[in-house]
Amino acid sequence: MPTWPISSIKELIEPTLRHMGYELYSLEQSGQSGRTLRVSIDHAEPITIEDCERVSRVVGPLIDHSNLIDGRYDLEVSSPGAERPLRSQTDYERFNGKRVNVRYRSGDADTVVEGQLVAVDGAGIAVQALGARGRAPVVLHIAWSDVVAGRLAVSF
């Protein structure tokens, strides 16, 4: 499998994406043959298929002309998804008020809570979850040092 200079590709496309009104959410080389470049974009409004097509039409030629990737490759442009990972305090702040799933350290074990993100600050986050056996909702305060992973959660 070839190894591509992902950091150089990122430096190449990020200014253009910003100019187009998008944020580069993630960039990775993948696929069975390693010949797929996955670009995940984001912005304030939900990402549409048209957004992905627009970015693909602009980013593809940029990469092609840069000679950073030898030979053929497949370019996939997508959104981070409805259950996107929350990777930073900024992500948590952006989605404050939304439903989240958070895995956090609780003593010697990891615990998972799902509920509404109700507060974010420098100390950590607060998630309002349903109480056990129909009890009133509880608010769990979780320090940043205890957060293992978080993502948006979709409820039906």
**Residue in 27, 22, 26 with CA at minimum distance from that of residue 44:** 22
Count how many residues are written for the chain.
Answer: 156
Helix (H, G, I), strand (E, B) or coil at 37: strand
Claim to verify: residue 64 and residue 94 sit in the same structural domain: no
- Tens-place pLDDT, residues 122-139: 999 999 998 777 678 899
pLDDT band of residue 107 (cuts 50, 70, 90) is: confident
Claim to verify: residue 69 and residue 127 sit in the same structural domain: no
CB atoms within 10 A of CB 2: 11
Instruction: CATH number of the domain at 12, please.
Output: 3.30.300.70
Q: What is the pLDDT of residue 32?
A: 79
Q: What is the pLDDT of residue 1?
A: 66
pLDDT, average across residues 28-41? 91
Look at the chain and report how many structural domains it folds into. Answer: 2
Residue pair 45/7 in contact by the 8 Å Cβ criterion: no
pTM metric for this prediction: 0.77
**Residue in 80, 74, 66 with CA at minimum distance from that of residue 24:** 80
pLDDT at 97 > cutoff 80: yes
Can you say how many angstroms the Cα of residue 61 is from the centroid of all Cα atoms in its chain? 25
The whole domain housing 19 covers 6-78
Q: What is the pLDDT of residue 54?
A: 97
CA distance 14 to 20: 10
Q: What is the pLDDT of residue 44?
A: 85
